[in-house]
A and B are shown apart, each in its own frame.
Chain A
Amino acid sequence: AQRVTQPEKLLSVFKGAPVELKCNYSYSGSPELFWYVQYSRQRLQLLLRHISRESIKGFTADLNKGETSFHLKKPFAQEEDSAMYYCALRTGGFKTIFGAGTRLFVKA
């Protein structure tokens, strides 16, 4: 079965602290993974995708096929990073499924 698991519903860190949002997936094929973010009163939008190996707003995510994980990391959290983060898996049929989301709260 195809599944995306984000074990933490809420993650609270202090400004300047490292942050890691966990994502694990279940998929028998070759996965395409994404992180989406939703800031307060804004639309859900793409943050980054694994295939691009990019760093966006200081965030990076590495696909670990052995552990079937795609954790999102940032070395120094900022208050403006506070948002809802969703990990997403796009299957070979182009259907995209999302995890339950993790709300990140960065405290001053």
Chain B
Amino acid sequence: GAGVSQSPSNKVTEKGKDVELRCDPISGHTALYWYRQSLGQGLEFLIYFQGNSAPDKSGLPSDRFSAERTGGSVSTLTIQRTQQEDSAVYLCASSLGLGPTEAFFGQGTRLTVV
């Protein structure tokens, strides 16, 4: 596609349920990022994939959060046993990964845990 695509755009889930958020990056982009955007918290780095290298998971807030990237393209962010504090907009971005290139963002998935 022409841009980064995320699905679903909105997700309401009950506390304790697992959720999966999907990201389709721009074709050819080797770098993929997940961020969390919370009111008053700004943009919080979660995880970063670059090519075939091991992902940088340093931003994942707890072991309930995990992400994978299959075939160097599509990525899935999974949140297990969701809590109300997980409610936020989850943003995915991709970039060429080489040189000072910009990151292109998806429209985000708004997650609401009730």
Contacts and interface: CB of A to CB of B under 8 A. Distances in A.
Interface of A: 6, 9, 32, 34, 36, 43-46, 49, 51, 86, 88, 90, 93-101
B100 A90 contact: yes
A49 B43 contact: no
Interface of B: 3, 31, 33, 35, 40-43, 45, 48, 50, 56, 91, 93, 95, 97-98, 100, 102-108
Nearest to B35: A98
Contacts, number: 55
A79 B104 CA distance: 25
Contacts of A34: 102
A49 B41 contact: no
A49 B40 contact: no
A54 to B, nearest CB: 12
